[in-house]
Copies of this chain bind each other. A is one copy, B any other.
């Protein structure tokens, strides 16, 4: 049964609100997802929130009622509250009707089954959480198995990354690792490491991609460090027609990932 919370100083309200900060997310190993669509996506992927807050002030969509009932039946903490308190927890003036707190999966490289997908995405020092979420969304669309975040990337469980992922945070496997963990793991099995580089003449359209392919995207400003490029089995570039010499990192990931997939279809 949902419990009612009407106090801003309630401990659960404070706890959910704290999950907008990275430190609290790490300590509690939880993260927030907001909105009917993403919470339904999560459920469709077999994931229910540990805490689900909702407001019925403006009436409840049948799907929202269904998600509430499913979370309740699974033993989740279901909270009915006011739009104001939802706004406080989500940090938005116009909060959505549902706010869920989810357990962060404790994925490690050793848990990844690289044969489960022909393509895996990897990112190195990616700083923009929106880019990380967008790459997750692209990974889902292109049939990737997951995203390996190398070295100090932005938090994939931040509110901004989760939102940009449009639910892919629940369908893509996400692993965080250091480069000196990633490389030995990669080399312990089959896998072609493909990097993007301005320094190669190999056009991404004519390259030969092998399965499983690990597509590595570098930092937004600096690209891949030379010593990481040197470890790649293949470096490709996307030829530029204009003045600029680079694409947005999430765009570059998508353009190459879809070409990798296209090359396997033809």
Interface positions of A (Cβ within 8 A of B):
41, 44-45, 130, 134, 137-143, 164, 166-168, 171, 205, 238, 240-244, 246-248, 250-251, 254-255, 258-259, 261-262, 265-266
Contact = CB atoms under 8 A, between A and B. Distances in A.
Given A171-B242, A242-B168, A255-B255, A205 B265 contact: yes
Chain B CB within 10 A, most for which of A45, A168, A254, A266: A254
A134 B244 contact: no
How many copies the complex holds: the figure is 2
A258 B248 CA distance: 14
Contacts of A247: 137-138, 141, 254
Given A141-B246, A251-B254, 18 more contacts: A45-B243, A137-B244, A137-B247, A140-B243, A140-B244, A141-B241, A141-B247, A142-B242, A164-B248, A166-B246, A168-B242, A168-B244, A205-B262, A241-B261, A248-B250, A250-B250, A255-B258, A258-B259
Where chain A touches its partner, the secondary structure class is helix
A77 to B, nearest CB: 26
Contact of A130 (B130, B138, B143): B130
A167 B240 CA distance: 14
Nearest to A143: B241
A96 to B, nearest CB: 13
A168 B137 CA distance: 25
